[in-house]
Structure 1
């Protein structure tokens, strides 16, 4: 029966994390794909003759390796790319190499499409390259990227919380505005899409990719998988499990250095002195993946040459909307973050904004004193999309800064001894800002930014901070 179910899931384009496959015998023999979700008018996202959805991802060492994914018509069975050093003249590229890769079919309401992966290895550090990929009817434009330095160098990152719902008409404005800022790499904290009944899943991914356009092909994208990157499957006992949507591993060719059994959703990348560790909290929360990720997390924190370290995942350790914190993450991961000097923990899921440091201490002089030598990371939660949740009754006194009913994006500027974190709203307001200054003993001092910030944004009863209805629902 297990073989039959694996085959059935493969036909549907679905896969289970290895850690969940022991539960396959409980699954119904014929899970049904969602085919009746609303479609984009005119079916504008069908695969065609040109390669599209081109997405760049960093290698484990972003000074030496990158990877690209792209979508083509299913009939394009060859996976081809070319890469060379950029030139100033119209020849575009020098020392061009022809590369091949691997592909897979992903079937959805829009029909079958082929997704391709090509890995760019043996690159030179701090070097400008251009590449192009082959579609059914020709080549893409030459697209530029720059490898990271192999030594420490200043870096700017963009961090985006959940886009998830109404990506095309609401979340796009925030993503597009963020991407106008100079940056080196983009970090996504999960729930990039909803993967539910609101819209055909492929149309939803098309809207997400349209929001970033060719930027996604020219700056490396680092995605954490959220619970909405997993599709629900009913079990015989009436409960549910989740399988990773086929679009996620097809779209993101992440480094193959993650936790055992979770190659598509856990990985680490080093970018010119910054280590980014991406974890899969859905597998940890629901699919038995906590222990293997905890072991792996300790390994990549222990053997860590980076000066700054960021953890990226979806479910927040400290929640700003849900009544309870995620205690098992706090029990297993927080001690490792504190013991190994993780600087930032970037999260999503709660659809509100919050920043936490020394959150166990009361706000005021006691917390401010502890911020002079932080015992652990600064935890962030943000949302870029439409759906909002109401703040819980702890956010106002546990967090350093909080907000509701507010779409934001974040800029993170990292230099040798200083990290500056900024939260911006769509109107151009600076909503939050702070710096981490590296002390001589290796710990961080948190310094509040002196610039004027936008007023606190919360709902007052049914009235939202913009004067209209409050969109946040209780969790």
Structure 2
């Protein structure tokens, strides 16, 4: 065969092969025809299958929060199977890997936790004496209970042979408050609770796409459905993923964080045994509290967390002192059960009687709540002491929000008289997250759906003398 003929045959074979591949690609791209497969209901109540292997020596479920001053410290928790010895390392972050030359190590506190899937160990460490508004890098490690094979250990540094480590993770300390508010942004979530892997994942991830430089996240209770079910916490961590270890988390317990302890069922329902081990919050609550009642000051905001599952009157004395002795520019309160309910068959008169007079007296700016599995937002309200009715007071009142981020939804409450409805904005069958920006002179609030669509917004503008102006959604500038 001549060279020209051979070249022609090879070219022909190449063209045929390309044609066949193109046909295969077209077939694969088209795939099978879709068929209708509707679900019986939007909220599926899916079985909470474990999202990862059970605990090992390798640190997992890492979460960052604040125990002390957010501008000078941050705390971290994680778990292992049975490591009795855990440590954490940190340094100021650098543009390259040279930060490893300046590592400092702190010992972690360790405590066993009995779960429905077996015993694990919980670890907690706090990094202190940090520089404000500075990016740090940290990692956490567990002493190995299973040694590395000799071949794998060869040539490895001693501390890596001895400890199993997480990745290096970035966290930025907060800015200090010295009379002028450094702008802060946070995202607030109502109840996640159900189908966390299936349905809540997209909400928390959309929130991150929307506000990637947020200062912290806030969860207004019912993070899971059963507070002592380990697989549900696994799904919560699966949904939040790296966000939970790199953005400080604040949370208060909902009624579903009160659960029967599998290791001590005779005690009945009580605050989840993992709550004070899972979260490192300020231990500045009333006597006997267990990091379920606290306050934290961050960038000119005093954020107060209350536990609405227990007697509100017993918290009121502590709450008044925290409100009275408050050097911050803004005051935001969070608790699970709402002062004003959005959903049918619900009303929390005891909370209104115990806490709203204090909100009115000390000019609380914003109260963020959950529990009702629907959405509602009021204008600035105060309660008339004589009639007990809610009155709009733009200059001094408090804005109340109820929201839900998970798929479990309830119908809105029917108010017999229009004037009894305290809400300016309400909604049902919505999964939402709220992006809240705080500057020296204003709070800018946006509620967004799971797809990122703007659903509600307002602003609170505060003058130097503390007098407020409420800017309604119609007046609030568009994005």
Same topology, TM > 0.5: yes
Question: What are the equivalent positions in structure 2 for 1:33-432 lying under 5 Å apart?
Answer: 40=49, 44-74=52-82, 76-93=83-100, 95-135=102-142, 136=144, 138-151=164-177, 152-180=181-209, 181-182=211-212, 183-195=214-226, 201-232=229-260, 242-284=269-311, 290-358=312-380, 370=392, 372-373=394-395, 375-394=396-415, 397-432=421-456
Question: What are the equivalent positions in structure 2 for 1:3-42 lying under 5 Å apart?
Answer: 40=49
Would you identify which runs of 4 or more consecutive aligned residues in structure 1 move more than 3 Å? 92-95, 358-361, 369-372, 449-454
| Structure 1 residue 394 displacement after superposition | 2.8
After TM superposition, the score normalised by the length of structure 2 is: 0.78
**Cα distance in 2, alignment partners of residues 394 and 242 from structure 1:** 33
**Cα distance in 2, alignment partners of residues 227 and 258 from structure 1:** 19
**Cα distance in 2, alignment partners of residues 282 and 241 from structure 1:** 14
**Cα distance in 1, alignment partners of residues 135 and 69 from structure 2:** 16
Q: 1:315 touches 1:347 (CA, 8 Å); kept in 2?
A: yes
**Cα distance in 2, alignment partners of residues 414 and 141 from structure 1:** 32
Tell me how large the CA RMSD over aligned residues is: 2.8
Q: 1:171 touches 1:385 (CA, 8 Å); kept in 2?
A: yes
**Cα distance in 1, alignment partners of residues 48 and 461 from structure 2:** 49
Deviating more after overlay: 296-305 vs 243-252: 243-252
Q: 2:459 touches 2:476 (CA, 8 Å); kept in 1?
A: no
CA distances 1:180-221 after superposition (whole Å, capped 9, x unpaired) = 22211000000000007xxx8111001101111111111110
Task: Label 1:90 to 1:353 Cα distance change in 2 as closer, same or farther (>3 A).
Answer: same
| Structure 1 residue 331 displacement after superposition | 1.1
Secondary structure of 1:350's partner? coil
Secondary structure of 2:336's partner? coil
Task: Label 1:262 to 1:62 Cα distance change in 2 as closer, same or farther (>3 A).
Answer: same
Task: Label 1:145 to 1:358 Cα distance change in 2 as closer, same or farther (>3 A).
Answer: closer
**Cα distance in 2, alignment partners of residues 227 and 340 from structure 1:** 27
Q: 1:434 aligns with which of 422, 442, 458?
A: 458
Secondary structure of 2:176's partner? coil
Deviating more after overlay: 262-271 vs 241-250: 241-250
**Cα distance in 1, alignment partners of residues 303 and 174 from structure 2:** 14
Where structure 1 has 5 or more consecutive residues not aligned to the other structure, the ranges are 1-36, 285-289, 362-366, 455-475
| Structure 1 residue 344 displacement after superposition | 0.6
CA distances 1:310-347 after superposition (whole Å, capped 9, x unpaired) = 10110001000143531111111111111112111000
Deviating more after overlay: 160-169 vs 144-153: 144-153
| Structure 1 residue 291 displacement after superposition | 3.2
Secondary structure of 1:253's partner? coil
Report how many residues are paired: 399
Q: 2:381 touches 2:394 (CA, 8 Å); kept in 1?
A: no
| Structure 1 residue 441 displacement after superposition | 3.6
Tell which structure's C-alpha radius of gyration is larger: 2
CA distances 1:380-404 after superposition (whole Å, capped 9, x unpaired) = 0000001111111139742010000
**Cα distance in 1, alignment partners of residues 477 and 225 from structure 2:** 32
Where structure 2 has 5 or more consecutive residues not aligned to the other structure, the ranges are 1-45, 145-162, 384-388
Secondary structure of 2:192's partner? coil
Task: Label 1:414 to 1:268 Cα distance change in 2 as closer, same or farther (>3 A).
Answer: same
| Structure 1 residue 108 displacement after superposition | 2.0
**Cα distance in 1, alignment partners of residues 428 and 267 from structure 2:** 30
Task: Label 1:250 to 1:233 Cα distance change in 2 as closer, same or farther (>3 A).
Answer: closer
